[in-house]
Amino acid sequence: MVEIKNVKLGANLPFVLIAGPCVVESEKITFTIAEQIKNITSKLNIPFIFKSSYKKANRTSIKSFKGIGDSEAIKILQKVRKEFNLTLLTDVHSTEEIKLLSDCADVLQIPAFLCRQTELLVAAGETGKPVNVKKGQFLAPEEMKHAIEKIESTGNKKILLTERGTTFGYNNLVVDMRSLVIMKEFGYPVVMDATHSVQLPGSGGKTSGQPRFIKPLAKAAAAIGIDALFLEVHPDPSNALSDADSQLPLNELEAILIEVKEIDSIVKKK
């Protein structure tokens, strides 16, 4: 089990929701999304970790939106964390960024494309903070043991492992649900990212997606017994500045959570 502030993951406990907008677009949108997700999760009694990237370091095109500015975005994340008393997760892309976010993030997330970066994993582990490692699209689930060992070498065993799809030919991803079972065998909480898993990478100079598959993937993962569900949500995905084709409409969140919670309770019933 991994405990993050007042949120506990693993040990056959009810699933945790990790959710929020792909990236900080503005203070208004960030606060709106955080408040609505907190209201929904409080109503449904689902533990909640707020997620948003303060910048997008990995974009398909040089023209793609990267962020509103590091310092401004970090200030917004600090404000929303304090205002709503949230547990906060955000991405880190370098050892320098880890220092920058030390007073902001409760969970450091290693993006999928960086999950083999030794210095980054070790530096994240050395903070003593929980570290969520997203499985690279290019990795078999068994290979995540190497990322685990790098973090464990620092004495840090607050590790989360996230499935977000595997490269399937060109411009497509596939989710092998066996990976959730395999990664659980490492003894750490396993997270299903049901929004990045529906992406179609690099299609026409940007990453597109198939959001109609978010719900079935989330439900299928819940049937396996995941420890957390990861969803990027937005009030108006079509106009989102990042991942517009794979974010879940905010007004659909509650319905999905109700179904996932029902499946989760059946699977974990003692």
pLDDT digits (tens, 9 = 90+) for 34-50: 999 999 999 999 999 99
Quick one: tokens of 157?
Answer: 């065993």
Residue 184 pLDDT > 70: yes
Return the number of other C-beta atoms located less than 10 Å from residue 187's C-beta.
11
Class of domain 2-267: alpha beta
Contacts of 170 (CB under 8 A, 6+ apart): none
Taking only the tens place, the pLDDT of each residue in 128-142 is 999 999 999 999 999
Write the Ramachandran bin of 128: left for phi over 0, alpha for psi from -120 to 50, otherwise beta: left
**Residue 219 and residue 238: Cα distance in Å, rounded?**
24
Taking only the tens place, the pLDDT of each residue in 67-107 is 899 999 999 999 999 999 999 999 999 999 999 998 899 99
Percent of the chain with pLDDT over 70: 98
Quick one: tokens of 174?
Answer: 């596939």
Strand partners for 233: 248
Strand partners for 226: none
CA torsion 197-200-206-208 (nearest 10°) is -80
CB-based contact 98:105 (threshold 8 Å): no
**Residue 113 and residue 116: Cα distance in Å, rounded?**
8
Please report how many Cα atoms fall inside a 13 Å half-sphere around the Cα of residue 30, on the Cβ side.
28
Q: For the chain, what are the domain ranges?
A: 2-267
Return phi, psi of residue 116, to 5°.
-105, 0
Going from the C-alpha of 47 to that of each of 3, 39, 80, the distances in angstroms are 12, 11, 17
**Residue 122 and residue 130: Cα distance in Å, rounded?**
12
The pLDDT of residue 206: 73
